[in-house]
Structure 1
Amino acid sequence: MTKTLMPAAQRGGSLKRSLGLWAIVGLGLGYMTPTVIFDTFGMVAEESNNVVPLGYLVALVVMTFTAISYGKISGAIPSAGSAYTYVRESMHPNAGFMVGWVALIDYMLLPLVNCLIIRSYLEALFPGVPGVVWVVIYVVGVTGLIYLTMRGTSNLNMLLLVFSIAVMVVFVFLVIFQLNRGEGMGTIASMNPFFHSDVQATAVLSAATVVCFSFIGFDAVTMYAEEAKNPKIMPRAILLTVLIGGGIFLVTAYFTQLRFPDWEVFLIEGDNPRQFLDDSTLPLIGSGVGGGLLMAVLTAAGFCATLASGLASHASVSRMLLVMGRNNVLPKRFFGYINPKTHTPTFNIVLTGAISLLAAAFTLEQIADFINFGALIAFTFVNLSVIAWFAIRKGLRKTPKDIFNYIVMPAIGTIMTGILWAFLSGYSLAGGLTWTALGFIYLLFLTKGFRRPVASFDENQPVTGYNKVLENEGAE
């Protein structure tokens, strides 16, 4: 018998608390895609003037402060939420709407980024095939799979993640062997990847802004708050995801920088010598360290990690649009529709796939800039929401400890993310501010000029009902 969403929602089903600490950390790391370090290495090396590890270190410090804020606010508001939920609850529904609207840039473009990276891998392996062919094949395959089912993929995600990290460990050992043999910088101990005479602070901050999108995913674990075995593990899960992911990025970037001390080594001959700088340097890094075999293995690891992230991000944005549609924030007839046969929000899934087709026309650097705009806005307001919720709403500002925890720490996180936001490219600022302006106009329409409340981003009811359908579907 076919099951529909509404009866499940009416029964008040709840999300199953089945995820432990490391399962949630694994999901966050899988979303972050550790192998993305190789994809963006060329562009970041050029941007930072060959101090990629320093760019990651700066980004890691900023993300750590923001992760602490996420941990605090997720503990206080333990819903399947994200930045827009926290801002809505701690500040104002209209502010939550605007942060949610800007965050849509992240969610909508992350599947496109994964498609773009996959395209660059396959172009490197099969140079005679036009990139648009791979884009269409990938989008049709992923969209079709998610169209049919959106069951959890935690175990598969962990398997793909372990494989990817294992290949990265092998890569690092090969690089160490080659450095000891005199290749690259010819040493495994050097401060050059962090500082040299040509390092400029503005270039480093600009590079840190670029690599921020590598960390996107640690905040995504907040959506599992209602599925954690114990909600109290969420702050630790968020912080561990940032620290472990940042450690992987930092160590890998350090040894890669020693092996390839100058970004110009990635320039190739041909009609488009900047191809790999603009898209992905992973194939060239693999080939340079281990020839065709390592190039193939590293590409396979990147492919698996990117595919897992692509499935997760595609499914997540479809789910987010479903929530917004069912709450009348977006047109309910389209965005709130669930196919009664597949039990999936098919319109949202197809729309996300259609947007992903743009991977045939853009570069990784361009899309990363747009994503960083939305991410840094969300991160900034999560830090501010800690101040608003604890220091202002709860009055926790009377002791030195409270002032430090709920004002000083999130204020530092706010300032740091604000500095990185100021170093976004003019290209991303123009596009991001245009998108923000459209959101403000839409907010005026929803609220009739602020004369009525904006529709609530109530995530629990539709997500709960939808997951209950999935549980029933899996039990058949």
Structure 2
Amino acid sequence: MTDKTILKRSLGLWAIVGLGLGYMTPTVVFDTFGIVSGDTNGVVPLAYLAAMVAMLFTALSYGKMVRVFPSAGSAYTYTKETINPHLGFMVGWAALLDYILLPMVNALIIRIYMQSLFPSVPAWIWVVCYVIIVTGIIVWSMNSTSNVNMFLLVFSIALILAFIVLAFIQLFHGMGQGTIFTTVPLFHSNVHVSSVLMGATVVCFSFIGFDAVTMYTEEAKDPKAVPKAIMLTVLIGGGIFFIAAYFTQSLFPNISHFKNTDDTLPEIGLYVGGKIFQLLFIAGGFACTLASGLSSHASVSRLLYVMGRNGVFPKKLFGYVHPKFRTPVFDIVLVGAISLFAIAPSLDLISSVINFGALIAFTFVNFSVIAYFVFRKKRYKTGRDVFSYIILPLIGAGCTGVLWYFLHGDALKGGIVWVIIGFIYMLFKTKFFRAKLADFGFDEAEKPTELNG
């Protein structure tokens, strides 16, 4: 008999990869091109390459931990079970900042797109309609969410491929560098390591999504597929970013061509393919944003569900699974309600602190590998174990440390305020540590299993 109180296992490998890629929003490379090109002095693809290398080390750590804890809780679960329950809560709380704000960012971007097309229509209408549609799809089933996401993702990637074809033609006819094969987008005399790292700090957050893949572990048909899905998401997403950035940088060696460097996607589409392609390109950006909205909304609801199931948040609400839809309905609706706040603020106001939570999660997932395999399992007696469970996660943590160094001051301030709020909540919940935060024993989904394959 099917247990209707647990999440439904309906996602295959490529469905999970699609959700991760949808979360990453592949067309964001064109949106942020002007900003990153200015930061790096015209080597955007090199910044993406540096960011991808940094993310791969942390992706390896996620792959190791999801084999041990095939749970939807991601960094929260790994930290609480390997290091400390209270620290796990704080990591989960910090990660919520990233996960909760991203669906709101997507709602806000959709609002901006629709306002530009229909300026006479009140902005709140677009936000409300968007939130209702996305929330309804995710409540209905994870399978339908995956199918819609995959359709939108395929459409946007098809437009990126069309852009590459047009870029070939324009370069052949002398636009930009005037040649298809050139090293200038990767290196020239004005390139400095510090500027490349600053650009990598910006673009690395385009990769946020590979970590969210672990949120779907309990809905995977085969949990063993999740580590592979993590690596595929990073490699495929990184490949798309790098190739798109290479051709864009070849076409536009500097940002003098652009009137609006804050969002260059519309102008890139116009200069490369004319008015018709510009409209299609904007449609691709719209589709990517909607796909990211579905993926990010679905993933944060899973994190809230696990924290509710463990009693960190009220279990009757946050840990509830609808018996028919087999989805965490309360969590999904709550995220939708929060996304409605996209009616008022600016993109800068929300996005200034969105990176803080991701870096917290990345850092502690790397530390969790060391805590579990080295300190608990004593796997440090061979060269292979030292390399896999000490050196690689330390490199991952070190790469994250570099990103911490370049983190924007506003993001740091906003993140610290959020952490303080979480710490106060934890003090209240534990009566100043005189009581347990929750039952932190392994539940059925969080027992260490060390899946093979």
TM-score, scaled relative to structure 1: 0.85
8 Å contact 1:124–1:283 — kept in the other structure?
no
8 Å contact 2:74–2:303 — kept in the other structure?
no
Instruction: Compute the displacement of 1:344 (Å).
Output: 6.4
Work out whether 1:242 is the aligned partner of 2:225: no
Cα distance in 2 for residues equivalent to 1:14 and 1:358: 28
Map of 1:381 onto structure 2: 364
Secondary structure class of the residue paired with 1:226: helix
8 Å contact 2:113–2:286 — kept in the other structure?
yes
Map of 1:263 onto structure 2: 255
Map of 2:207 onto structure 1: 215
Map of 1:185 onto structure 2: 177
Residue identity in the other structure for 1:36? V
Aligned pairs for 1:166-181 (under 5 A) are 166-181=158-173
Work out whether 1:73 is the aligned partner of 2:65: yes
Map of 2:243 onto structure 1: 251
Instruction: Compute the displacement of 1:359 (Å).
Output: 3.2
Using the TM superposition, name which of 413-422 and 453-462 deviates more.
453-462
Map of 2:450 onto structure 1: none
Instruction: Compute the displacement of 1:462 (Å).
Output: 9.8
Structure 1 residues 1-50: Cα deviation after superposition (integer angstroms, max 9, x where no partner): xxxx9x833xxx6743x543333222221222212222222222233333
Cα distance in 2 for residues equivalent to 1:458 and 1:107: 25
Structure 1 residues 410-439: Cα deviation after superposition (integer angstroms, max 9, x where no partner): 000000011101211101000001111111
Aligned pairs for 1:213-362 (under 5 A) are 213-268=205-260, 277=262, 280-332=263-315, 335-336=318-319, 348-362=331-345
2:428 equivalent among 434, 440, 445? 445
Cα distance in 1 for residues equivalent to 2:393 and 2:415: 24
Map of 1:435 onto structure 2: 418
Aligned pairs for 1:85-164 (under 5 A) are 85-126=77-118, 131=123, 133-143=125-135, 145-146=137-138, 152-164=144-156
Map of 1:390 onto structure 2: 373
8 Å contact 2:171–2:179 — kept in the other structure?
yes
Work out whether 1:370 is the aligned partner of 2:350: no
Cα distance in 1 for residues equivalent to 2:384 and 2:391: 10
Residue identity in the other structure for 2:50? V
Map of 1:41 onto structure 2: 33
Distance 1:359 1:292, change over 3 A: farther
Cα distance in 1 for residues equivalent to 2:280 and 2:238: 23
Distance 1:392 1:343, change over 3 A: closer
8 Å contact 1:213–1:371 — kept in the other structure?
no
Using the TM superposition, name which of 422-431 and 341-350 deviates more.
341-350
8 Å contact 2:7–2:219 — kept in the other structure?
no
Secondary structure class of the residue paired with 1:301: helix
Distance 1:193 1:460, change over 3 A: farther
Secondary structure class of the residue paired with 1:225: helix
Cα distance in 2 for residues equivalent to 1:195 and 1:400: 36
Instruction: Compute the displacement of 1:391 (Å).
Output: 1.0
Structure 1 residues 349-397: Cα deviation after superposition (integer angstroms, max 9, x where no partner): 4442343234344444554442211111101111111111111110001
Cα distance in 1 for residues equivalent to 2:346 and 2:52: 24
Map of 1:84 onto structure 2: 76
Cα distance in 2 for residues equivalent to 1:93 and 1:121: 42
Structure 1 residues 213-263: Cα deviation after superposition (integer angstroms, max 9, x where no partner): 211111122133334444333322211110111000010011111122222
Residue segments in structure 1 that go unaligned for 5+ positions in a row = 269-275, 464-476
Cα distance in 1 for residues equivalent to 2:199 and 2:246: 15
Map of 1:8 onto structure 2: 4
Report the identity percentage.
60
Cα distance in 1 for residues equivalent to 2:442 and 2:107: 28
Using the TM superposition, name which of 117-126 and 247-256 deviates more.
117-126
Cα distance in 2 for residues equivalent to 1:101 and 1:180: 51
Structure 1 residues 73-131: Cα deviation after superposition (integer angstroms, max 9, x where no partner): 11122223301111111111111101000000111011112122223333444456565
8 Å contact 2:310–2:439 — kept in the other structure?
yes
Distance 1:62 1:319, change over 3 A: same
Cα distance in 2 for residues equivalent to 1:170 and 1:130: 34
Work out whether 1:206 is the aligned partner of 2:202: no
Distance 1:20 1:328, change over 3 A: closer
Cα distance in 2 for residues equivalent to 1:299 and 1:115: 16
8 Å contact 1:326–1:332 — kept in the other structure?
yes
Distance 1:208 1:363, change over 3 A: farther
Distance 1:239 1:104, change over 3 A: same
Residue segments in structure 2 that go unaligned for 5+ positions in a row = 447-453
Distance 1:374 1:383, change over 3 A: same
TM-score, scaled relative to structure 2: 0.89
Cα distance in 2 for residues equivalent to 1:327 and 1:317: 16
Secondary structure class of the residue paired with 1:383: helix
Instruction: Compute the displacement of 1:174 (Å).
Output: 0.2
Cα distance in 2 for residues equivalent to 1:224 and 1:130: 36
Instruction: Compute the displacement of 1:398 (Å).
Output: 1.1
Distance 1:85 1:55, change over 3 A: same
Cα distance in 1 for residues equivalent to 2:124 and 2:271: 27
Cα distance in 1 for residues equivalent to 2:221 and 2:131: 34
Map of 1:50 onto structure 2: 42
Using the TM superposition, name which of 329-338 and 46-55 deviates more.
329-338
Aligned length: 445
